[in-house]
Amino acid sequence: MMQEKDMVNDVLSMINSSLTVYASSIAQTSNQNLRQSLQQIRDADEQFQYKLYQMAEQKGYYQPAQQASQQDIQQVKSMFKQQATV
């Protein structure tokens, strides 16, 4: 029998995969109505994913990664800014 922890982790995994598909689909869609619909679905799924993540963390089902230092954050920001200007 599947445990609640396993079910929650499976749903989180599925939602995360779906969010990746939405991002790709939105980027490749030229029809504005379809694009907006996909964005609305993605936004709703992101909200659900975050609520489920919070519940999983509270119950000890999910251990988040260690917090990044300010130096690490600045390094990643700089890297993305450089890529955006290329």
Quickly list DSSP for the chain. Answer: ---HHHHHHHHHHHHHHHHHHHHHHHHT---HHHHHHHHHHHHHHHHHHHHHHHHHHHTTS--PPPPPPHHHHHHHHHHHHHHHH-
Q: What is the band of 62 on the pLDDT scale with cuts at 50, 70, 90?
A: confident
pLDDT, tens only, 36-60: 999 999 999 999 999 999 999 999 8
**pTM of the predicted protein model:** 0.69
